[in-house]
């Protein structure tokens, strides 16, 4: 398809999706764009509607798996959207961040302002937009759940028709790695924090980083934890996988990390299909042994 000459936004064709996700797999996107403002985003949505193209919105791609066949529609990366919009209000104890802001940047800005509550986000390699969709969270204490949904005040979104909304806390629903924001494009969010001295916040962040470094496999391409943890008191996904001795199991270059049983890593030139096959194999082995069905946390992008 030839691109119309009057499009203002740069729309690229045949873009390698492995370059836009942390697992480093996936075929080509037929169309790919990185809108930097609302006008460009609206133009893209209009273009997709006009050409009857399916679209998918991504952030850092740290929780998505694209198929080897690629994506026949339009991939909209929100990583440049209003990318530096990060506003801390020390008095009100709030922070507004655009959907593109990296969680590490957000967490550091809160620390610098002496605002606590976002320390747990610091080591998660995603954007605010992706974290809200996923209700991302982290705690080094088993059973404790720090999730971004707990500190959200309001979220600014756009619907597929290009209408902008502000969703208040009362309209938002967050549960474990889920939100009611699917289908919306996240433009930004306001979070509510609380005052604390900088040193204590910094200490907490350092402890989180040390813990992540010690236990997570951060040396290979991955999507982080592949499976959600079953409800307590059932064992963690990692515990179940490791108890069955599945660390190191591989299909092609898709491999269960030797360091963390709930991480699948790309050990070289893994294919998306190999990762999916490995996910299914783990599910079957765990189910056969325990009757617990592990549910994937990562999002496998499918064309409808």
Ligand X SMILES: Cc1cc2nc3c(=O)[nH]c(=O)nc-3n(C[C@H](O)[C@H](O)[C@H](O)COP(=O)(O)OP(=O)(O)OC[C@H]3O[C@@H](n4cnc5c(N)ncnc54)[C@H](O)[C@@H]3O)c2cc1C
Catalytic positions, please?
177, 225, 297
Residues 190-229 that bind ligand X (CB under 6 A): 216, 218, 222-224
109 by DSSP, 3-state: which? helix
Q: Does position 131 bind ligand X by CB under 6 A? A: yes
- Burial classification of residue 252, based on how many CB atoms lie within 10 Å of its CB (0-12 exposed, 13-18 middle, 19 or more buried): middle
- Per-residue tokens: 141: 């204490």
Q: Does position 266 bind ligand X by CB under 6 A? A: no
Q: How many residues bind ligand X (CB under 6 A)?
A: 32
Q: How far apart are CA 282 and CA 256, in angstroms?
A: 9
- Per-residue tokens: 262: 């709930």
Binder among 64, 270, 279, 294 for ligand X (CB under 6 A): 64
Q: Quick one: 114 or 125, whose CB is closer to ligand X?
A: 125
* Residue 25 near residue 66 (C-beta atoms within 8 A): yes
* Residue 152 near residue 118 (C-beta atoms within 8 A): no
Q: Quick one: 114 or 224, whose CB is closer to ligand X?
A: 224
Q: Does position 107 bind ligand X by CB under 6 A? A: no
Q: Does position 63 bind ligand X by CB under 6 A? A: yes
Q: Does position 151 bind ligand X by CB under 6 A? A: no
Binder among 78, 97, 172, 205 for ligand X (CB under 6 A): 78
Whole-number minimum distance, CB 134 to ligand X, in Å?
4
Q: How many Cβ atoms are within 10 Å of 271's Cβ, its own excluded? A: 18
* Residue 54 near residue 11 (C-beta atoms within 8 A): no
Piece of the chain touching ligand X by CB under 6 A; list 11-19, 39-47, 62-70, 254-262: 62-70
* 131 φ, ψ (degrees, to nearest 5): -65, -35
Q: Which residues are near ligand X by CB under 6 A? A: 22, 56-64, 78, 99, 124-127, 129-131, 133-134, 136-138, 185-186, 216, 218, 222-224, 299
């Amino acid at each position: 398809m030839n691109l119309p000459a009057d499009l203002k936004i740069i729309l690229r064709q045949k873009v390698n999706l492995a370059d836009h996700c942390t697992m480093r797999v996936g075929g080509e996107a037929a169309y790919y764009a990185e809108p930097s403002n609302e006008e460009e985003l609206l133009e893209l949505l209009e273009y997709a509607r006009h050409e009857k193209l399916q679209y998918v919105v991504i952030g850092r791609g740290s929780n998505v798996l694209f198929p080897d066949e690629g994506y026949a529609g339009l991939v909209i990366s929100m990583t440049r959207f209003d990318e530096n919009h990060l506003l801390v209000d020390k008095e009100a104890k709030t922070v507004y961040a655009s959907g593109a802001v990296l969680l590490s940047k957000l967490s550091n800005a809160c620390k610098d302002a002496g605002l606590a509550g976002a320390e747990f986000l610091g080591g998660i390699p995603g954007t605010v937009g992706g974290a809200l969709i996923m209700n991302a969270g982290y705690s080094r204490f088993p059973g404790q759940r720090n999730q971004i949904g707990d500190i959200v005040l309001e979220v600014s979104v756009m619907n597929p028709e290009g209408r902008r909304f502000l969703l208040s806390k009362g309209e938002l629903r967050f549960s474990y790695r889920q939100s009611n924001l699917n289908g919306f494009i996240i433009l930004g969010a306001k979070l509510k924090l609380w005052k604390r001295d900088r040193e204590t916040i910094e200490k907490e962040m350092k402890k989180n980083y040390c813990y992540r470094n010690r236990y997570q496999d951060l040396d290979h391409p991955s999507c982080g934890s592949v499976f959600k943890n079953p409800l307590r008191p059932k064992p963690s996904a990692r515990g179940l996988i490791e108890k069955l001795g599945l660390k190191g199991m591989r299909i092609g270059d898709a491999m269960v990390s030797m360091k963390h049983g709930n991480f699948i890593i790309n050990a070289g030139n893994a294919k998306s299909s190999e990762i999916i096959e490995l996910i299914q194999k783990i599910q079957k082995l765990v189910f056969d042994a325990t009757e617990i069905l592990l549910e994937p946390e990562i999002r496998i992008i499918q064309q409808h």
